[in-house]
Structure 1
Amino acid sequence: MEDALERFYRYREVFKTVGVVFTFSLPRQHSLKHYHRHIQLFAAPNGVCSSITENKHIKAVKELYRRSNRFNALGQMLETNQRLDKLAAMRINFTAREMLTGTCLSSVLTSMKTIQGPVPPSPNNEPEVNQGSAAQISTEEDPEDVESDDGPMVIQAHVQLAKTPQGKKRAQTVPALANELGIPRLPTLIRQFLFEQNLPGDLRDLSEVPLYECPLYDGKVSVFNSASSRFYAPSDLSGVAGMRTEHIRACPRWRNESARYDCVFINTDTECGYNGMRGLEIARVYCFFSFTFRGRYYPCAVIRWFDKPDDRPDEDTGMWIVRPAYRANRFPEYAVIHIDSIFRAAHLIPLYGPHFVPVNLHHYHSYDAFRAYYVNKYADHHAFEIAF
C-alpha cells in the first residue's frame, strides 16, 4: 500500500494535464497518507465508503450501546445483537406462515364466521346495528367527565425508592446504619424526623424541641442504593406527556470502584420550583432507607445540607454558589427527610481556586475536595428552568 501511494503521488499530475470526467470523484487525497496507519488502528480506510460503514455502525454499535447501561457494555451489545437476529428470523418465519396478516381481532372474527356460518337476515326488517359504530360510541368519553384545565402546569416531582432493598448487604437497624454511615447523631435525626411527621402543626425549630418529646425508634430499617424521580420536563428528551425519569444514587460502592452520593434539589416552598433557587435547597444524599413506625410507612433519605452564602446567583456565571453546611461545632449538618421533599438530581461544579488540581484527584472525589460549588443550571433544559 505504501508503494502504491508513493506511485500515486508521483503520477497524479496526469489528472490535471489530461482532465477527467466531471462526474468522476477522486478519493480524499489529503488523507491518503493516513490510510495505512488508520487501517491498522481502526480497520477503516479513513472515510472511503463512509456512508455504508456509518449505516452499519449505527445499527451494529450505536443503537446497541444506547440500549445498554453503559457499564461493560460489550457483552450486553453482543447479546442484544443475537436477540435481534433471532427476532428477524422469527419474523421471516411468521410472515411465510401468514401469521402476521391482519390482527388478533380479525383472526377471531374470521374463525367465528367459519364456525357459525352466515348470519340470517333479522326479522321485522329491523335495521342491523353497525357494531363498529357502536363500539366506537361506547369507547368515547362523556364530555361531562372531561374538564379543560387552563391552570399552570405543576412540576412537582414524584420520587420513589428502588424496588429491591439491599437486605443483609447493608445495615438493618438504626444503630448499625449510624455506624455504617459514620453519623453518630442518626438516631437523634430520626427522632426529630418523626416529630416533624407526626406533629406538622408544631412551628418550633427542631433545635428548640427537647429530645424527650420526639418519638423513639431504633428498630429495623430497609436500605436502598437508589431512588427514581419522575418529573415534568417537556424541553428535554422525555416520554409521554413530557414526563422524565432519572435515578438518584446513594451507594457505598458504585460499579466496583468507589462510593457515589448524588446531590439533589430539595423543595422548601409550596410553589414547587416557580421561585427558582429561592424556593429550593441543595443537599447530598448519603442513604435511602425506609421503616414502619406505628403502622405508618416512612421512605426517607439521609442528607447533608448545602448553604447558599448569597441571596442571588453569581453575576459572572449566572449560577448559584453553595457550600457544605456545618453546625456550630464544625460538624457536618446532616438531616433525615421524607423523599417526597426531593425534587430531582442536581449537578454541582467545583469552584476552582488559583492552584492546579492535583493529578491524583479522581472524579468521585469532586464533592469532597472543594469548599464551594456552582449549581449547574446548564446541565439540561429543565435544570435551567428551575435553578434561576
Structure 2
Amino acid sequence: MLGDDGRCEPRDPDETLQALRDHQAQRSSLHFDAERLRPVDEPFWANLPHCDIFSSIMPDILHQLHKGVFKDHLLSWCTTLVGEDEIDRRFRAMADFPGLRHFRNGISHVSQWTGREHKEMQRIIVGLLAGAVSAEVLMVVRSLVDFIYYAQLQSHTDTTLAHLQSSLDTFHRHKDVFVRLGIREHFNIPKVHFLLHYIEAIRSHGSCDGFNTELPERLHIDYAKQAYRASNRRNYLEQMVTWLARQEAVDLHTSYVRWYQKQAIIPDWRRAGYAIAKNCPLPGTSLERIESAYGATEFLPAFTEFVRTNLPECRFKPNRMDRFDVYKKLTIVYRAAAHGDIAWHKDRIRTVLGKASRGTKKGVAAHFDTAFVVDPDVPIDQRGDSRSVSDTRVARVRVIFDLPQQFGSLPHPLAYIEWYTPLRTKVPDPRVGLYQISPSTQRRRPNAAIVRVDQIKRACHLIPGVARR
C-alpha cells in the first residue's frame, strides 16, 4: 500500500521498457500487471542514454507538501475533526504579531490559496489545535509540520536528515488515529507515499529547494508577465528579450554594489544586536501616562530598583515628576539559522498605544509584544549563543525608553518588562513541543523589572491556550 512506511526496490528502466514492449506485442507479461503499468507504445526516455527515469522524479515542496500533504490532506482532516467554525474561530483568536499573518476572517473564506497562505498556516497550526484535538492527533500534525520545515532547508547534514526521518516515522506510528476516528479509511495517497523518497532524493541530488516548482512559477512572473507588460504588445517577443537583457545588466550591477558594500565594516546595529529610532517619537512622557496608558503599574518601583542597583553613584532619586523619552518599537537583530537563505534575522517588538475609533475609522488595539529576555538568575558562564533561548525568560515589553539625563548616561536604552514564569522550571508539552507558561506571580521576587534593550534576545509569539495570558 502507498500509505505504508515500508520501502521497496526501485524500478529497473530496462525491465519496465521490456514489459511495455511485451504488452504492445500482445505477449503476456507478469511484470506489466505487477507494476500496474499503462500501455505506452514508446516512452520518451526509451532511447535516452544513461537515463534512469525513475530516479529523475524529484520532490516538489510546493505541490507535494504545501498544497498536497498539508492543505489537501492534513488541514482537511483536522477541519473535519474539529469543525470549520471552530477552526475559523481559533484562527481569528490568534494574537497579532509582527511577521505573522493574522487570518481575521478565518480560513474558510480564503478565495485564492497560494504557497504563502499554506506557509503562514503551518507556522501556527500546531499551537492552534492544542486543546481542540487529542494528543495523538497533535503528534501527527506536529510530525508532518516538522517534516515540511526540515524538507525546506537549503542545506542538509546527517543530523537534519535524521530529524527528517524521525518526523516521518512519528507520522506513520500515529497516523491510524484518523482511521479510528472515522476521518480516513486508508492512506493510499501518492503524495503521502512520496515522503519516503525525500531523504534518498536529497542525498543523491541535493536539497529540495533546487527542485521546487515554486521557483519557476515565480520566475514566470519576472521573465514573462512583467516583460510582456513592458512591451507595446506588438512584436512583443523582441521587446521582451531587450527588456530582459537590460534587467540582467541592472541586476549584475546591483549584485556588484551589494558585494562591495559587504566588504565594509559591519553596521553598528548589527554589532549592537538591535536597532531603534534615531529621534525619539514620544519625548517627555509623564510617569502618570506611562502607568495608565501603557499599563506599567509597577514602573516607578522597578525603575527605583534599577537606579539603586545599577547607578549607585547617582544623587537623584526617582519621583513622580520625572519624564521619559519613550519609543514605539525595537528591532532585534540576530544571526539566522545556518541552513537558511539569509544571514541575519530581524524581529520587531512593539510598544504601541491603541487608538480609539473616530467617525468611520475603526479603533486600533494596543500592541505590547513579548520577547525572550536574558534570565538574571542564569549564571554568566551558562549563557548560550546569540540564537539560543535556553538562558532566557519570556516577558511582555511594556515601555521602551531612555534614561533621563539627571540620572546619568547609559550606552543602551531601557525597557520595562513584565515576567512570565521561567522556562527552566518547566518541561515542553510533549504533544506540541511548546512551553505552557503564564504571567509570573512570584511573591519573593518582583514580577516586573527594568532591563537594558541589549538584554532582549528576540521576539516571542505567545499562542493562546499554550501560553496562557
State the TM bucket, normalised to the shorter chain. 0.3 to 0.5
Question: TM-score scaled to structure 1, two decimals?
Answer: 0.44
Whose RCO is larger (CA < 8 A, sep 6+)? 2
Task: Write 1 or 2 for the structure with the bigger share of strand.
Answer: 1
Decide which structure has the larger Cα Rg and report it.
Answer: 1
Question: TM-score scaled to structure 2, two decimals?
Answer: 0.37
